């Protein structure tokens, strides 16, 4: 293990010996106040990666990209976008909000679908990782942080002319074939983009089955500037994933499960901007069909979830030092299921955010949200962030309240079946989670070459929801349960406190002879404690210590990239299926691309899980071993 970790460290160190548009160390962001401001004024720890950096790394889905970004723990159950849980700052996977071009992607059925981002990689303008509390701005689920994905069409500026196209084909062991394509055409006022991603494999051998996957995404989007004031953007996407899910959710030997998830996503953005005023309207509709079969002899669970949402906001600049953002938000969540029943929930919110700076040194961003649901009533959610600049050093601090409503799986899982002899049982009586987060940190900038961000944080949570092993005698509802059954009940745990320290580094540098080097790495230490000693599943699954990184060296002839992760976590074991999670886990992927024609056509070779480690991210879910693949990539831009 020591030698492997030293190899990973040497890659990072090599990268740090060497400017490139893929890493912007102080970009403009809207993540913290919904108003464009530099990251250094936000008072938050934010990592921003350009979409153009995506295809340089040995990754084939967006969740794989996130896995190697600083401080992000992506707990993968399968490769190439099959299923992943996103964890930030030691929260559960339900406590991360995913935003696509201003609209929330989180599914009302389950957080296991939050990583299904229905676009092709070629459409990404940038990915932002906002760490820490953000419920005052975005509402429910923004507890551990927010993943914000901005696409090229929705970010298109008036007057630009651009043509982009990319096509990549990959083949490899275990019947692997992957296609990744996409393009953008913009002619001054109008931009049109589309993409197609198809990841397929017969899969590596697991316990009597193969970890196959057939995952496909197709999307199209358009944006039009009617004049210098009005812009309309639209997107429609279809996402289909069919994959093996053996022991994704259970540790029973009879589990040979398969799952199919189909998503339809439609969204609209209308923006009006004039002088010191800006009005934005976002509207979206999401429909997800999920079919899960525990084994060939079981009746499949069939769920259809829907999310309708509207967000409108108004921004006004009173002066160059003072700006105000106000808005309202509406969500309607529905599910129709033979397992969970039919349910409907509406959520309403209003928010206000102030941006205030003093002499270009001190920046304050207070915010407050009023949030109301039929289930939890009305809640007030405040937040305050500040930043103080001293030359190339930025001091930052923040505090805020966060909330999270239980999803339909947590409330009604196995609720509608005639008889349940074992498994996870939903609890309709769950209360909304509530927590308070505090953080303080420092950012150091060295020109446009190096950024180092370090800080401490603490999150004090009450009524946190997780699955807890519960005897039949203590189950709140017994109508369809067996007295001899073994169950895990969705439970509000009294109190969970998480403390942590994080350091992120971003580095980029150009060298002579068209050489460049880029690197991102993060170090995260976490400590979570429950005051009542209750043992639950997902709270204890996060890493206690996490190191992840990605790096690339390139010149006019070739590029070499690597991505890796090391984590130390609580060891677990399930003897019935011969599964275990060791305390330490290290994974490394590498990719070599040789340019055949003007850096437009390249031949590449990739080796994933170089050391053939068998460690997984979650107990029971088996990740692939060493996997070789290669292919061709064509890229055109004008």
The token duo for 524 is: 């995260």
Share of the chain above pLDDT 90, in %: 73
Give the mean pLDDT of 426-454. 93
Quick one: DSSP state of residue 67?
H
Q: What is the mean pLDDT of the chain?
A: 90
Rounded average pLDDT over 210-216? 95
Q: What share of the chain is helix, strand, coil (3-state, %, to 5)?
A: 10, 60, 30
| Assigned fold of 2-637 | Maltoporin; Chain A (2.40.170)
Terminal Cα distance for the chain, rounded:
46
Q: Identify the pLDDT of residue 40.
A: 80
What pLDDT band is residue 23 in, cutting at 50, 70 and 90? low
Tell me the pLDDT band of 22, cut-offs 50, 70 and 90. Answer: low
Q: Is 592 exposed, middle or buried (0-12, 13-18, 19+ CB in 10 A)?
A: middle
**Whole-number pLDDT of residue 520:** 92
Q: Which helix (H) or strand (E) holds 561?
A: strand 558-568
Highest mean pLDDT among 238-242, 481-485, 526-530: 238-242
The alpha carbon of residue 548 and the mean position of all alpha carbons in its chain are separated, in whole angstroms, by: 15
pLDDT(535) > 80: no
Q: Band of the pLDDT at 391, cuts 50, 70, 90? A: confident
Do the Cβ atoms of 365 and 386 come closer than 8 Å? yes
- Please, are residues 460 and 153 in contact by the beta-carbon 8 Å criterion? no
- Count Cβ atoms below 10 Å from residue 390 Cβ, excluding itself: 9
Length of the chain equals: 638
CA distances 332 to 48, 51, 117, Å, are: 31, 31, 20
> Per-residue confidence at 9, pLDDT binned at 50, 70, 90?
very low
H and E: helices and strands count for the chain? 4, 34
pLDDT tens-digit map of 339-364: 999 999 999 999 999 999 998 889 99
Tell me the two tokens of residue 597: 């024609």
Give the CA dihedral 530, 534, 537, 543, nearest 10 degrees. Answer: 30
The domain segmentation of the chain, as residue ranges, is 2-637
The string of pLDDT tens digits covering residues 219-241 is 999 999 999 999 999 999 999 99
Q: What gap in Å lies between CA 491 and CA 116, rounded to an integer? A: 26
Sequence-ordered list of residues with C-beta below 8 angstroms from that of 473, at least 6 positions apart, any chain = none
The DSSP output letter for 620 is T
Bridge partners for 76 per DSSP: 84
Most confident of 89-93, 324-328, 568-572: 324-328
What's the whole-model pTM score? 0.93
Residue 210, token pair as written in the block: 């193969």
Higher pLDDT, 340 or 495: 340
Element (H, E) at 279: strand 277-293
* DSSP single-letter state for residue 431: P
Instruction: Give the tens place of pLDDT for each residue, 158-205.
Output: 988 999 999 999 999 999 999 999 999 999 999 999 999 999 999 999
């Amino acid at each position: 293990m020591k030698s492997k970790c030293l190899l990973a460290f040497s890659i990072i160190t090599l990268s740090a010996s060497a400017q490139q548009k893929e890493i912007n160390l102080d970009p403009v962001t809207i993540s913290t106040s919904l108003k464009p401001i530099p990251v250094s004024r936000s008072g938050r720890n934010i990592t921003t990666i350009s979409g153009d950096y995506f295809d340089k790394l040995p990754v084939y889905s967006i969740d794989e990209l996130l896995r190697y970004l600083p401080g992000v723990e992506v707990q993968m159950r399968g490769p190439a976008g099959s299923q992943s849980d996103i964890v930030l700052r030691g929260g559960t996977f339900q406590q991360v909000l995913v935003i696509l071009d201003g609209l929330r992607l989180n599914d009302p059925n389950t957080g296991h679908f939050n990583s299904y981002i229905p676009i092709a990689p070629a459409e990404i303008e940038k990915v932002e990782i906002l760490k820490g509390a953000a419920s005052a701005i975005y509402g429910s689920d923004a507890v551990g942080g927010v993943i914000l994905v901005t696409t090229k069409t929705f970010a298109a500026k008036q007057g630009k002319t651009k043509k982009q196209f990319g096509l990549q084909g990959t083949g490899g062991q275990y019947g692997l074939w992957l296609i990744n394509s996409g393009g953008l055409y913009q002619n001054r006022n109008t931009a049109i983009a589309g993409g197609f991603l198809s990841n397929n494999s017969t899969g590596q051998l697991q316990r009597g089955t193969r970890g196959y996957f057939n995952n496909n995404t197709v999307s199209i989007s358009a944006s039009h500037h009617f004049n210098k004031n009005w812009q309309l953007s639209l997107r429609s996407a279809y996402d289909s994933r069919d994959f093996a899910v053996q022991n994704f959710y259970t540790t029973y030997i009879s589990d040979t499960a398969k799952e199919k998830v189909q998503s339809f996503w439609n969204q609209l953005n209308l923006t009006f901007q004039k002088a010191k005023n800006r009005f934005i309207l976002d509207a979206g509709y999401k429909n997800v069909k999920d079919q899960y079969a525990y084994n060939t002899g079981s009746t499949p669970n069939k769920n259809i979830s829907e999310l309708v949402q509207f967000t409108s906001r108004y921004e006004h600049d009173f002066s160059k030092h003072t700006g105000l953002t106000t808005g309202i938000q509406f969500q309607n969540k529905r599910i129709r299921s033979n397992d969970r029943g039919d349910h409907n929930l509406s959520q309403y919110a209003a928010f206000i955010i102030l941006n205030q700076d003093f002499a270009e040194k001190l920046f304050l961003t207070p915010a407050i949200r009023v949030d109301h649901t039929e289930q939890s009533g009305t809640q007030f959610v405040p937040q305050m962030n500040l930043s103080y600049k001293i030359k190339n050093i930025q001091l930052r601090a923040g505090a805020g309240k966060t909330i999270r409503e239980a999803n339909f799986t947590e409330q009604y899982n196995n609720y509608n079946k005639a008889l349940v002899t074992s498994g996870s049982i939903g609890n309709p009586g769950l209360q909304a989670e509530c927590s308070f987060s505090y953080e303080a940190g420092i950012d150091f900038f060295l020109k446009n070459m190096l950024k180092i961000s370090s800080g401490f944080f603490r999150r004090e949570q009450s009524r946190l929801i997780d699955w807890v092993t519960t005897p039949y005698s203590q189950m709140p509802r017994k109508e369809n349960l067996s007295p001899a059954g073994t169950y895990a009940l969705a439970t509000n745990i009294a109190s969970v406190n998480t403390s942590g320290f994080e350091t992120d580094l971003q580095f980029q540098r150009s060298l002579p002879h068209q050489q460049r080097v880029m690197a991102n790495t993060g170090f995260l230490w976490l400590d979570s404690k429950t005051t009542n000693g209750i043992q639950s599943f997902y709270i204890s699954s996060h890493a206690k210590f996490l190191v992840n990184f990605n790096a690339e060296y390139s010149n006019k002839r070739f590029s070499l990239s690597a991505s890796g992760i090391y984590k130390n976590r609580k060891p677990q074991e399930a003897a019935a299926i011969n599964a275990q999670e060791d305390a330490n886990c290290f994974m490394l992927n590498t990719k070599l691309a040789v340019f055949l024609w003007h850096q437009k056509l390249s031949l590449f070779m990739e080796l994933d899980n170089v050391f053939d480690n068998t460690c997984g991210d979650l107990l029971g879910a088996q990740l692939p071993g060493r996997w070789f693949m290669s292919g061709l990539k064509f890229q055109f831009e004008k």
